[in-house]
Amino acid sequence: MGHRRGEVANEEATSGWGTTPCSTCPLRASKHYRKFSPGELKFMETFKIDERRRETGQTILTEGESANHMYTVLSGWVMKYKSLEDGRRQIINYAFPGDLVGLQGAAFGKMQHSVEALSPVTLCVFDRKKLWSLYEAHPGLGFDITWLAAHEKSILADFLVTVGQRTASERIAFVLVNLFRRAQVSGMVKRGTMELPLTQDHLADTIGFSLVHTNRSLSRVRRLNAFEWHGASFTMLDEDVLVEFASIPPAVAGPRPFI
Amino acid sequence: MGHRRGEVANEEATSGWGTTPCSTCPLRASKHYRKFSPGELKFMETFKIDERRRETGQTILTEGESANHMYTVLSGWVMKYKSLEDGRRQIINYAFPGDLVGLQGAAFGKMQHSVEALSPVTLCVFDRKKLWSLYEAHPGLGFDITWLAAHEKSILADFLVTVGQRTASERIAFVLVNLFRRAQVSGMVKRGTMELPLTQDHLADTIGFSLVHTNRSLSRVRRLNAFEWHGASFTMLDEDVLVEFASIPPAVAGPRPFI
DNA sequence: CGTTACCTTGAATCTCCTCAATACACGTGG
DNA sequence: CCACGTGTATTGAGGAGATTCAAGGTAACG
């Protein structure tokens, strides 16, 4: 059912200085991301209007509110969630470096879910009003945004299958594998280890079970000896064990765009 | 857990004649859809390469296969689903007239889910290879596709919240309201009544419960007297009752694009 | 050295699943 | 025409799974 920590971040905290130029963006150097043309790169430098930092537990976007900005995660962990009136909370998805946040606000005017930092986070800030000019000036970038939206659609579908059909232990295995793989693509895994700043409360609200039952199921999954998870440090020892245990399809490869 | 009926449709059945010109598309006349410029309309006529018909139970796209075509639903009911190895099936979403089908195939090359006709269906067929030229020639149409993808993302998020957090009866109420509202936008509701070509098996695989439990929960929801559902005919009597019962947020309005 | 956040375990209760049987509508072939 | 199979809806019963309430435990932090 989950805790509600959310302090709302003051709007202009730590902005406007020391912005990383897109040309030296550490993500773009990664092999997982597609190359940009010089023109696209130049456009991105003007499209990106700022860089923002948020601390653990701070709210980045709020369900129901309109948003003038769209973000891309540069570093850190972020979660997207929706709440029901009585406090039940479902974590919809997580966002990693390279992932888009707030496209809905740009497309519909209002956010349908909230976004919160799970760790200290750096965000690239884009102006919603300039989104149109992106499509006009650089169709390839427009296509990239569609690609990212379609990509997240397929992740949401995977989560829906998991929550709808898998057992408690399978759900946990699935989430851990999914997050680990995505962290790898984002360059957040070093020697099999990543930061995993989730509480079991987060995990419970991700897989749709109570905290207590999540705890008991997790301890059962631990006995597979496929990973070690202490505090915020997660080490994958044998991904295949989890993959087989929860019958998880292979990761879909392919270079990804990064607006 | 669901039946597997899926006969694969032969590739070129009922194609290549009697194609509806986009300029007289019945959907575009609806107030729910945005207007097109003459240039956009003309482009769409060349982008649409065919029209296809599929019968109830026929497969339109198959998980894992690559697809050269992208579709838009012109008429009829369609479902998207994923299967696990042991036969468990989760229905991911439904597609209504005006909805896009197969964008994933166009973006990633392979389908991550299957698509099946729930009723006789008419589809507009687009060539995946021409998608790029759409973004180049008509940024507005490119933006529309992004809009549609973002829109489906938000529907998937709603379903995820439902399956993750709501009780059995609430889930059923949610699905019925969701489908009814979307059928309204698609012009499929006449005097409060729509065709609803789902079995309880479909419903079960949508909400993530067994058929038996779905049946019992449905009979409990029926007692609210908020709708009548006999065979494939569904009549909404009091949507507000269901909305309150399952604490469903109001529908988000706004004109939608239709590529 | 108390508070706070998080993790863990027990026990009673309720939800949900599986197995199983019945019922009805429909179409098919004898 | 009836007998039969198939697909769908419904109901019962027993057992597994999940929830809630409750209590205890640890580590971090001021």
Which residues lie closer than 8 Å to B113 by C-beta, 6 or more apart? A154, A157, B61, B63, B80, B81, B82, B92, B104
H helix runs in chain A, sequence order? 38-47, 103-108, 131-137, 139-165, 168-185, 200-207, 211-222, 239-245
- Whether A187 has a pLDDT exceeding 70, the answer reads yes
Predicted structure pTM score: 0.93
Among chain A residues, the shortest Cα distance to B170 is held by A84
Using an 8 Å CB-CB cutoff, list chain A residues near B142: 135, 139, 142-143, 146
Annotate A195-244 with DSSP letters as a single string.
E----HHHHHHHHT--HHHHHHHHHHHHTT-SEEEETTEEEES-HHHHHH
The distance from CA B240 to its chain's CA centroid, rounded to whole angstroms, is 23
Which residues lie closer than 8 Å to B187 by C-beta, 6 or more apart? B26, B27, B30, B97
Distance to chain A for B104, nearest Cα, Å: 6
Confidence of residue A258 (pLDDT cuts 50, 70, 90): confident
CA distance A144 to A131: 12
Tokens of A216: 């008991």
B1 touches strand D (CB under 7 A): no
B237 touches strand C (CB under 7 A): no
Does A154 sit within 8 Å of B149, measured CB to CB?
A: no
CA distance B204 to B206: 5
Which nucleotide has its C1' atom closest to residue B230's CA? Answer: D9
CA distance B174 to A88: 15
pLDDT one digit per residue (tens) for chain B, 259 residues:
333 343 444 444 444 456 888 888 888 889 899 999 999 999 999 999 999 999 999 999 999 999 999 999 999 999 999 999 999 999 999 999 999 999 999 999 999 999 999 999 999 999 999 999 999 999 999 999 999 999 999 999 999 999 999 999 999 999 999 999 999 999 999 999 999 999 999 999 999 999 999 999 999 999 999 999 999 999 999 999 999 999 999 987 677 777 6
The answer to whether the CB of A164 falls within 8 A of the CB of B119 is no
CA distance A133 to A49: 14
Residue A139 touches chain B, beta carbons under 8 Å: yes
A172 touches strand D (CB under 7 A): no
- Whether A5 has a pLDDT exceeding 50, the answer reads no
Q: How do residues A141-176 score in pLDDT, each as one tens digit?
A: 999 999 999 999 999 999 999 999 999 999 999 999
User: What spatial distance separates the first Cα and last Cα of chain B, rounded to whole Å?
Assistant: 35
What is the pLDDT at residue B258? 73
Among chain A residues, the shortest Cα distance to B134 is held by A139
Of A93, A165, A252, which has the smallest distance from its Cβ to B84's Cβ?
Answer: A165
Tokens of A157: 């579908």
Of A103, A135, A208, which has the smallest distance from its Cβ to B139's Cβ?
Answer: A135
The answer to whether the CB of A208 falls within 8 A of the CB of B165 is yes
Q: How many CA atoms within 13 Å lie on the side-chain side of A79?
A: 23
Which nucleotide has its C1' atom closest to residue A216's CA? Answer: C8
The 3-state DSSP class for residue A125 equals strand
Q: How far is CA B108 from CA A27, A251, B64, in A?
A: 21, 12, 11
What is the pLDDT at residue A13? 43
In percent, the amount of chain A with pLDDT more than 70 equals 92
What dihedral do alpha carbons B221, B223, B226, B232 form, nearest 10°?
70
Of A110, A157, A252, which has the smallest distance from its Cβ to B156's Cβ?
Answer: A157
Using an 8 Å CB-CB cutoff, list chain A residues near B256: none
CA distance A197 to A232: 5
Residue B236 has φ and ψ, to the nearest 5°, of -85, 125
Which nucleotide has its C1' atom closest to residue B202's CA? Answer: D8
Chain B 77-96 residues whose Cβ is under 7 Å from strand D? none
Q: How do residues A16-72 score in pLDDT, each as one tens digit?
A: 456 888 888 988 889 899 999 999 999 999 999 999 999 999 999 999 999 999 999
What is the pLDDT at residue A6? 39
- Whether A111 has a pLDDT exceeding 90, the answer reads yes
Of A88, A113, A254, which has the smallest distance from its Cβ to B157's Cβ?
Answer: A113
Task: Output the average pLDDT for chain A.
Answer: 91
Residue B107 touches chain A, beta carbons under 8 Å: yes
Does A92 sit within 8 Å of B150, measured CB to CB?
A: no
* DSSP secondary structure letter of residue B66: B
CA distance A47 to A64: 25
Mean pLDDT of A116-122: 97
| Contacting A residues, span 46-85, partner chain B, CB-CB under 8 Å | 80, 82, 84-85
Region class of A70: left (phi > 0), else alpha (psi between -120 and 50), else beta = beta
Residue B215 touches chain A, beta carbons under 8 Å: no
Which residues lie closer than 8 Å to A134 by C-beta, 6 or more apart? A43, A47, A141, A142, A145, A259
